[in-house]
Amino acid sequence: MKMPAMPGEHVREGIIRGLYSVKSVKPPGAKLEVQLVGSGVILNEALRAQQILAEKYNIASTVYSATSYQMLRKDAIECERHNRLHPDAPKKVPFVAQVLGGTKGPIIATSDYMRALPETVAPYLNGRMLALGTDGFGRSETRKALRRFFEVDAENVAVAALYSLFQQGQLDPGTVKQAIADLGINSDAAHPWTI
């Protein structure tokens, strides 16, 4: 699968520090907004989820590429340490919070690694992040089937975004339930990590 080109020179710092904005979409009249974070080849699934959310549910979103959760976490714990040991100095803000902290709506992070990886930066985002990842053992013939099995494909990312909006009281549960059916997700499938 082809990776999107670098959006421009302005994202170079974000690429190096671990996170940068790839694409924003705001459908006409959109009142709800989410942030979608993809890493590696799963970035393409986040971009497809963005399209689904815009076209089917009139939801605005920005897709971000997480180039290094390790760098983001390292920066965050360095900021936390500095703040703890210098209580009278100006507070340092982790880069992940600089990028995502002022955004609207929930943050959905999807990865082809275990969900524990994006969860390493979740504490610095005020409980707004829902992480999806490939926990368990995959036994699928195609990458598309494997992503569906692990619930990290575009359709599952879109449902996670809708569910998170519901959790924040911005969307009714019926919309989420209908999306699950419309997007072909089996809500009674076994957890990927139990198979």
What one-character-per-residue DSSP string does 60-101 give? EEEEEEES-HHHHHHHHHHHHHHHHH-TTSPPP--HHHHHHT
CA distances for 147 relative to 37, 64, 136, 156, 161, angstroms: 16, 19, 12, 9, 17
Please return the burial class of 59, using the count of CB atoms within 10 Å of its CB with bins 0-12, 13-18 and 19+.
buried
For 30-85, write each residue's pLDDT tens digit.
999 999 999 988 999 999 999 999 999 999 999 999 999 999 999 999 999 999 99
Hey, what are 120's tokens?
Answer: 């390493």
What is the number of other CB atoms lying within 10 angstroms of the CB of residue 118?
26
Can you list the domains of the chain with their CATH numbers?
9-194 (3.40.50.920)
Q: Which helix (H) or strand (E) holds 23?
A: strand 19-25
Q: Considering just the CA atoms, what is the radius of gyration of the chain in Å?
A: 17
Task: Write down the residue that tokens 């971000």 correspond to.
Answer: 64
pLDDT at position 41, please? 86
pLDDT at position 114, please? 86
Hey, what are 178's tokens?
Answer: 């209908």
Q: Which residues contact 189 (CB under 8 A, 6 or more apart)?
A: none
pLDDT at position 138, please? 62
pLDDT at position 166, please? 97
pLDDT tens string, the chain, 195 residues long: the values are 566 666 667 778 888 899 999 999 999 999 999 999 999 889 999 999 999 999 999 999 999 999 999 999 999 999 999 999 999 999 999 999 999 999 999 999 998 888 899 999 999 999 899 999 887 666 666 777 777 677 789 999 999 999 999 999 999 999 999 999 999 888 888 777 775
* Distance (Å, whole) CA 30 – CA 185: 25
* Distance (Å, whole) CA 49 – CA 159: 9
pLDDT at position 106, please? 97
pLDDT at position 137, please? 66
Grouping H, G, I as helix, E, B as strand and the rest as coil, residue 91 is coil
